[in-house]
Amino acid sequence: MAFSRITKLDPPSRGIFRKAVVMLCSLLASFFLLHLLTESCTTTTGNSPPRGSSSRAAGLFEDLSSLRTKRLVYEWTGGSELNRYGTAARTSQVLADERATQDSELPEEALVLPPPDLVVSRRVSPRFAGKVSPLGEGSKKLPQALIIGVKKGGTRALLEFLRVHPDIRAVGAEPHFFDRNYHNGLEWYRELMPKTLEGQITMEKTPSYFVTREAPARISAMSRNTKLIVVVRDPVTRAISDYTQTLSKKPDIPSFESLTFKNRTTGLIDTSWSAIQIGIYAKHLDNWLQYFPMEQILFVSGERLISDPAGELGRVQDFLGLKRIITDKHFYFNQTKGFPCLKKAEGSSKPHCLGKTKGRTHPNIDPEVVQRLRDFYRPFNMKFYQMTGRFFGWDD
């Protein structure tokens, strides 16, 4: 019979069965991963906090972000070596563009900080405090380094120069936390800081800290390991510059000479005037040394910051434990303003000089008054040289 010739088919082998199971599992896993990525994108574009599923997919986004940031910093440095952590300072071009839009021509006093209630309302979830966020964009940390002084010494120039470094993130406005806003608390202060990646340094500058008696104890309470930077300048020139700034805002103030002396006839200097008091550096340093060792304080010469910016920036980078990336190639000297400018500012491809409020022309001061001030400051300067171990040459 014809049916008798039909042979019975062999059952499928175990190997084929295993392959089918593997293919089915792979297909299910692909659908699940696609679901996670879709949910993550939906979460990040909305207002709801990150979900657990998006956290599980964070590794993929971090890898993508890492590749992108490495490429950006490679282009920025012209192909030079990345920092020692193998990451770039900027996690995305968006962050760089946002910081590049800051109006550098605005006077510092126009940079207003947000009110505490607004800052606190935007507080990062405690889940991510001090950690890298799910999308690899970093987190807000308390500063590890502070530029604490001095007013009219060159602190704004130093901060703008340092912001070129890919391992430094800094606040543009002066927070004045340790002198005026301490009552707002550390969380308010933290929220003012920019986001940083692992290995980057958070900084801020408020020159009045150096002459604020409570500041050393308060900063030490935050962290005894905080590194402190002080830009100092010939105290006589600094006082005249301080007066010039005040004069530009209040044209009807008394003359520099009348404010300098308690009694012009006797030549007694009025040390209660802040323009004079700030320049007594040795007195203020005594207060800081009660809370911080000298090796945690770096003194930058305001004069050398103009004549040799790359040299002073090299000392600062060494002090912060960073690679010397900011060099002579980053600067050019602006003959009109009389001080160095950046060839390419942080987050921008254009040259950048400090605003119109910097480099004001000083009024003519009676030479006799200038000499009286030099005689007054000389003993304080000598003590300051001894304390810091550096001769600044203000009394030549």
* CATH for 300: 3.40.50.300
**Cβ contact 142:177 at 8 Å:** no
What's the CA angle centered on 244, arms 241 and 245, to 5 degrees? 90
pLDDT at site 129? 39
Q: Which residue has the higher pLDDT, 274 or 71?
A: 274
- pTM score > 0.75 for this model? no
Given the residues 152, 205, 350, 356, select the one marked as catalytic.
152
Q: Within 13 A of 148's CA, how many CA atoms are on the CB side?
A: 29
pLDDT at site 309? 95
Q: 302 is in which domain, residue-wise?
A: 139-240+279-359
pLDDT at site 8? 47
Q: How far is CA 286 from the centre of its chain?
A: 26
pLDDT value at 187 more than 60: yes
Across the range 225-247, mean pLDDT stands at: 97
Element containing residue 156 per DSSP (H, E): helix 155-162
131 located within any domain = no
Give the pLDDT band (50/70/90) at residue 13.
Answer: low
164 located within any domain = yes
Alpha helices (runs of H) in 256-308, residue ranges in sequence order: 256-260, 274-277, 281-288, 302-307
Q: What angle in degrees, to the nearest 10, is found between the helix axes of 309-319 and 155-162? A: 70
Closest CA to 352 of 141, 163, 136: 163
219 located within any domain = yes
Q: Which residues is 145 bridged to in the sheet?
A: 203, 227
Name the burial class of residue 267, with classes exposed (0-12), middle (13-18) and buried (19+) by CB atoms within 10 angstroms of its CB. Answer: middle
Give the pLDDT band (50/70/90) at residue 310.
Answer: very high
179 located within any domain = yes
CA distance to 74, 82, 320, 340, 341, per residue, from 77 (Å): 5, 8, 20, 20, 18
Across the range 228-232, mean pLDDT stands at: 98
Bind-site residues: 152-156, 233, 241, 358-362
196 located within any domain = yes
Give the pLDDT band (50/70/90) at residue 46.
Answer: very low
202 located within any domain = yes
What's the CA angle centered on 334, arms 330 and 337, to 5 degrees? 130
Bind-site residues for 3'-phosphoadenylyl sulfate: 152-156, 233, 241, 358-362
11 located within any domain = no
Q: Per residue in 312-343, pLDDT tens?
A: 999 999 999 999 999 999 998 887 777 799 98
pLDDT at site 29? 78
Number of domains in the chain: 1
Percent of the chain at pLDDT > 90 equals 56
220 located within any domain = yes
Q: Is 152 a catalytic residue?
A: yes
Q: Residue 79: which residues within 8 A CB-CB, separation 6 or more? A: none
Mean pLDDT, the chain, integer: 78
Element containing residue 170 per DSSP (H, E): strand 168-170
